[in-house]
Amino acid sequence: MASEAYCVKCKTKREIQNPEQITMKNGRPATQGKCAVCGTKLFKIGAGK
């Protein structure tokens, strides 16, 4: 199953294209990438699978 995050531009949950696992400044894991429809940057806090 692909990662999903809320897209502010589309105002709905969208699939994350090119998901990248990162670590935030406080040490928590997160996932970032781009919206599959409009290309806006998506960000989801929490460990990815």
Q: How would you write the pLDDT of the chain (49 residues) with one tens digit per residue? A: 578 999 999 999 999 999 999 999 999 999 999 999 999 999 999 876 6
Non-local CB neighbours of 29 within 8 Å, separated by 6+ positions: 21, 22, 23, 45, 46, 47, 48
Compute the half-sphere exposure of residue 40: CA atoms within 13 Å on the CB side of its CA: 14
Asked if 29 and 48 count as a contact pair (C-beta separation under 8 A), the reply is yes
The token pair at 14 is 């969208």
What confidence score (pLDDT) does residue 12 get? 96
38: containing domain:
4-45
What is the value of pTM for the model shown? 0.81
What confidence score (pLDDT) does residue 49 get? 65
Q: How many helices (H) and strands (E) does the chain have?
A: 0, 4
What confidence score (pLDDT) does residue 1 get? 53
What confidence score (pLDDT) does residue 47 get? 76
Report the domain count for the chain: 1
